[in-house]
Amino acid sequence: VALNAKTVRRLPDEVVVPGYDRSRVTVGIVHLGVGGFHRAHQAMYLDRLMAAGEALDWGICGVGVLPADRAMADALAAQDHLYTLVVKHPDGRYEPRVIGSIVDYLFAPDDPEAVIEKLAAPATRIVSLTVTEGGYNLHHVTGQFAADNPDVQHDLVPGVAPKTSFGLIVEALARRRDRGIAPFTVMSCDNLQGNGDLSRRVFTAFARLRDPQLADWIDANVRFPNSMVDRITPVTTDADRAEIARRFGVEDRWPVVCEPFTQWVLADDFGAGRPGYEKVGVQVVDDVEPYELMKLRLLNASHQALAYFGHLAGYRLVDRAAADPLFATFLRQYMDREGTPTLAPVPGVDLDAYQASLLERFANPEVRDTIARLCAESSDRIPKWVLPVIRAQLKAGGPIDHATAVVASWARYAEGVDEQGEQITVVDPLADRLTAAAKRQRSEPLAFLADRSIFGDLIDDERFTASYRATLDSLHTVGARATLEGLVAG
């Protein structure tokens, strides 16, 4: 049956449906960027709270800011804003749950004024965001708010109907200030380090271009909590829709699929209240940074450890490489010996269990994550995820061989030709420069490291370069697999 508020009662027992009265749920949160991730994560936590009879005044009103969101607006409207969230377990089991916490949706391109008034309404106490990295409008070179973006320029014209999140949110904040209504909290759930601090920076930067006094008022009065979010949520495919219809008899225009693991670490920094998230597994903390470093140096760095060695060894899917005992051992040794010792204590997290959960997640064949995805944008990722571990270990006199080998594997990959002589497509804004340097390294082994805009002064550290040269040489002479065997035998 087609999913909606009437048919949801008739679904098979194995599909969990909202047991609470949705007609009693009122909007407390307006969310910009209702995509897969929001629906697998934040809306799911609220649904759990509502199922426990709580947070009924924290219902979500979704907002689509971009014209491309019309499809989501239509899908949700046809289904009374209900949708099916399907957790895919590694053994092939699907765990379906119809989520009821989104109770309204506004499509800004059709009616921006309605969105602004919803944001300005006294009941709206949190405005949350999953608008992707691009949604923060940072200049790709300076890293500052890109004021020259034509849509931003458009939104700065007084009295205009806004096109951007900045125009919508800042106008709503101005109205709240003028009406004497306390501001909402802006809660970014995007995957960016210091996402709250970044949001404060870009929203006040926009406001400052419009009205410096308003910018000062926002900076002084609006809270922007940081958060760390984690749950792999791939794009929904037609195969997913068909499989969900086949297994459960639900015809859902836009279901969401995700992995079993989920994590949300949230700074307790709210100006106008918040749902009792901690009751449903959210870690509400004072400082998110230790958790972010844990994720960057264990999850993200391990992905890099799988990526280039994996590709060179012939793997194309993450789960296949992660299920290979040689790779699993290499990752575990990297995390145990090199990554984890550089972390400050992470309150409430068992790091051993976290490491084990990462290996399990990577090996989940249902997620179908690709090695190619992990190999992209390396020049942005290696300096954030891997080099800090090497620097910390060099300073502490600790082991560096595994993390350094990841860097060497990237250098080998960047040559653009694999061990069978096949072409490698290097996806990186700096691809040309990187490949040119990598091609020189058979005669000039440190050529790749000479780029100080990426590697800083690591090339001056002899312990690092000795380890790097050994691995690069091994990659050239015996290949990726034998190199890993040597490393794990250490």
Binding residues for ligand NAD, per CB under 6 A?
32-38, 64-66, 68-69, 130-135, 165, 190-191, 229, 231-233
How far is it, in rounded angstroms, from Cα 452 to Cα 464? 15
Burial category of 150 from C-beta neighbours within 10 Å (exposed 0-12, middle 13-18, buried 19 and up): exposed
Q: Residue 126 is inside which H or E element, if any?
A: strand 126-129
Smaller CB distance to ligand NAD: residue 128 or 471?
Answer: 128
Least distance in Å: CB of 489 to ligand NAD?
35
Q: How far is the CB of 218 from ligand NAD (least distance, A)?
A: 19
Cα torsion 183, 44, 238, 90 to 10°: value is 140
As a 3-state breakdown, the chain gives helix, strand, coil percent values, each rounded to 5, of: 50, 15, 35
Give least dist CB 50 to ligand NAD, A: 21
**To the nearest whole angstrom, how small is the minimum distance from the Cβ of residue 190 to ligand NAD?**
4
Minimum CB distance to ligand NAD smaller for 131 or for 280:
131
First to last CA, the chain: 58
Say how many C-beta atoms besides its own lie within 10 A of residue 368's C-beta.
12
Residue closer to ligand NAD by CB (options 191, 329) is 191
Residue number of the CB closest to ligand NAD reads 35
Task: Say which residues have a Cβ less than 8 Å from residue 353's Cβ, sequence separation at least 6.
Answer: none
Residue 420: phi and psi, rounded to 5, are -100, 5
If the CB atoms of residues 82 and 138 are measured against ligand NAD, the closer one turns out to be 138
Are the CB atoms for 170 and 108 separated by under 8 Å? Answer: no
Query: Distances from the Cα of 10 to the Cαs of 1, 25, 253, in angstroms?
Result: 9, 21, 18
Locus of tokens 């859902």: 252
Nearest Cα neighbor of 62 from 54, 53, 72 is 72
* Nearest residue (CB) to ligand NAD, 95 versus 133: 133
**Sheet containing 94-99: which strands, arranged edge to edge?**
94-99, 83-88, 256-258
Shortest distance, position 348 Cβ to ligand NAD, whole Å: 20
Q: How far is the CB of 72 from ligand NAD (least distance, A)?
A: 6
Q: What string of H, E and C letters represents the secondary structure of 335-402?
A: HHHHHHHHCCCCCCCCHHHHHHHHHHHHCCCCCCCEHHHHHCCHHHHHHHHCHHHHHHHHHHCCCCHH
d(CA 354, CA 184) in angstroms, rounded, equals 34
Nearer to ligand NAD, 119 or 408 (CB): 119
Q: How far is the CB of 36 from ligand NAD (least distance, A)?
A: 4
CB of 174 to ligand NAD, least distance (A): 19
Please report how close the Cβ of residue 228 comes to ligand NAD at its closest, in angstroms: 9
Q: How far apart are CA 39 and CA 213, in angstroms?
A: 36
Q: Which is nearer to ligand NAD, 77 or 450 (CB)?
A: 77
Residue 300 CB, shortest distance to ligand NAD, in Å, is 11
| Closest to 272 in 3D by CA, of 29, 40, 95 | 29
The residue (of 130 and 404) whose beta carbon lies closer to ligand NAD is 130
Nearer to ligand NAD, 228 or 403 (CB): 228
To the nearest whole angstrom, how small is the minimum distance from the Cβ of residue 69 to ligand NAD? 5
Q: How far is the CB of 438 from ligand NAD (least distance, A)?
A: 29
Q: Measuring CA to CA, how many Å separate 61 from each of 26, 40, 338? A: 9, 16, 44
Q: Closer to ligand NAD by CB, 42 or 474: give it.
A: 42
Residue 143 gets the label, from left (phi > 0), alpha (psi -120 to 50) or beta, of left
Whichever of 148 and 462 has its CB closer to ligand NAD, that residue is 148
Beta carbon nearer to ligand NAD, 126 or 475:
126
